[in-house]
Amino acid sequence: MSQDIDFDRYDRIRPIRWTGDALELLDQRKLPFEVDYVRCADSDEVAAAIHALTVRGAPAIGISAAWGVVLATRDVQADSGAQALPLLEPAMQRLNAARPTAVNLAWALARMRRVLASAGADWREVLAREAQAISDEDLAANRHMGALGAALIAPGSGVMTHCNTGSLATAGFGTALGVIRAGVAQGRIGKVYAGETRPWLQGARLTSWELQQDGIAPTLVADAAAAHLMKTGAVQWVVVGADRICANGDTANKIGTYQLAISARHHGAKFMVVAPSSTVDMDTPSGEAIEIEERDPGEMFAIGGVRTAAHDIVAWNPVFDVTPHELIDAIVTEKGVIERPDAAAMRAAFGG
């Protein structure tokens, strides 16, 4: 079905640019009012950008980390990849520590280690080619997933999404937002609702802006209004991304996803998770084993630098929650669609 999609029309944004001597990252903290790229000249600057949410979204984090390894090679003198590997390991560990929950980060670094270990004198070129391959493969996978996921949606449906899973979070086109782009292009989606996604407001700041760039008019919804919206019958599918998918189909995603899955099941809407196979972690048996990242509680106290909370209070700020597989109707990866995911279905699709 991908032949029906005008990718040039619905895929205009690139958050990651490799210049040959630096990595340029679209600063997502400044969107939607300022489009500015941050230049990273070494691997620690890439790690800092990942941690600070300059770049975000599991696939984009993995791609950025791969280019961070390429930047780290400039400080290393070695005659082969095997010699370079232990010298690059500290930089890779710092990159890995920047965002521990997103499995794509560790996955991308593992790919870089693997090709490096067998590389010869051209090990620097080998790493650069691998980083570019990770990016190219992600874009191709997203376009394929868009077509697969859109095929599940009946024409004229209302769809709700959460956080940002589009071009800003990937090499391009997006995961869950790629399904929405494909669905709009094919006339399957009549209305798009974007949850605001507190406390960083990725839905309000990023998803709404990104859809506008492609001529798609989203309706912004307060996180607290999602269940009420579903009660009206306006939503037939909730389509979200993932930062980690476990061996039993449990899925970690942006905080607030779990409550959307509960509301969708209660109101008869379906729930779709869209992510590349690199997000699948068959070594993690269930969501109970996922390390849930917590960020500075201070992020809860203000919006856009303006304090909204009383002084001298405490806050709890988990970044992710886990949606149990029983609440997921379909997991879509570039390898295919897994309906009603469980441990057996995941093994059949991914082995392990």
Q: Is 57 annotated as a binding residue?
A: yes
Which residues have C-beta within 8 Å of that of residue 129, sequence separation ≥ 6? none
Q: Is 336 annotated as a binding residue?
A: no
CB 43 within 8 A of CB 88: no
The DSSP result for 157-213, as a single string, is EEEEE-S--SGGGSSSS-SHHHHHHHHHHTT-EEEEEEE--TTTTHIIIIIHHHHHH
Q: Is 58 annotated as a binding residue?
A: yes
Written as six digits, the tokens of 346 are 């995941």
Which residues have C-beta within 8 Å of that of residue 344, sequence separation ≥ 6? none
CB 238 within 8 A of CB 260: yes
List the 320-323 sheet strands across, edge first: 280-281, 244-246, 251-254, 320-323
β pairing state of 280-281 and 251-254: unpaired
H helix or E strand, kind and range, residue 124: helix 123-150
Q: Is 99 annotated as a binding residue?
A: yes
β pairing state of 270-274 and 244-246: unpaired
Q: Is 254 annotated as a binding residue?
A: yes
Catalytic residue status for 243:
yes
Question: Is residue 25 classed as helix, strand or coil in its secondary structure?
Answer: strand
Instruction: Please identify which residue in the block is written with the tokens 């269940």.
Output: 227
Q: What angle do CA 202, 137, 13 make, to 5 degrees?
A: 40
Which residue in the list 11, 138, 223, 243 is annotated as catalytic?
243
**How many Cβ atoms are within 10 Å of 2's Cβ, its own excluded?**
14
How far apart, in Å, are the Cα atoms of 245 and each of 45, 250, 275? 28, 6, 9
How far apart, in Å, are the Cα atoms of 297 and each of 58, 87, 300? 22, 36, 6
Binding-site residues sit at 56-58, 99, 202, 253-254
Q: Could you give the residue numbers annotated as active site?
A: 243
Binding-site residues for substrate sit at 56-58, 99, 202, 253-254
